[in-house]
Amino acid sequence: SQTIHQWPATLVQPVGSPLSLECTVEGTSNPNLYWYRQAAGRGLQLLFYSVGIGQISSEVPQNLSASRPQDRQFILSSKKLLLSDSGFYLCAWRGTGYTEAFFGQGTRLTVV
């Protein structure tokens, strides 16, 4: 069966520090991968998606970047965090034969 792992679960970082959040998927090949951010009262905002290794599409201009170095690995990064980067970050995947997306448990990022 397929599983998705996302870590860390919580993170407190100072303004101006770098960020790296990692997501890995097991039990499937060539999944579509997504990063969402959830802010209070604003629902889920799609940040990035990837249909293959090295292929990243950005949905909104921001202080963040994404990379996909391996088929089932998706990384969200920042060189210098802003206070506005605080939020709940969710990784998700969709694969061949599936219509829905499957989500990781999320990372709560607090920038102080």
Partner 1 sequence: AQSVTQLDSQVPVFEEAPVELRCNYSSSVSVYLFWYVQYPNQGLQLLLKYLSGSTLVKGINGFEAEFNKSQTSFHLRKPSVHISDTAEYFCAVTHLNQAGTALIFGKGTTLSVSS
Binds partner 1 (CB under 8 A): choice among 5, 44, 65, 71 = 44
Number of residues that bind partner 1 (CB under 8 A): 27
Distances (CA, A) of 9 to 22, 37, 55: 10, 14, 26
Quick check: 43 binds partner 1 (CB under 8 A)?
A: yes
Other CB atoms within 10 A of residue 93 CB: 22
Taking CB under 8 A as the criterion, the residue among 32, 62, 67, 73 binding partner 1 is: 32
Alpha-carbon distances, residue 22 vs 36, 96, 98 (angstroms): 13, 22, 23
Smallest separation (angstroms) from partner 1 to the CB of 81: 20
- Candidate residues 42, 54, 61, 69; the one interacting with partner 1 per rule CB under 8 A: 42
The reply on whether position 46 binds partner 1 by CB under 8 A is yes
Take residue 6 and report the two structure tokens written for it: 């996302």
d(CA 43, CA 31): 24
Binding site for partner 1 (CB under 8 A): 6, 32, 34, 36, 41-44, 46, 49-51, 57, 59, 88, 90, 92, 94, 99-106, 108
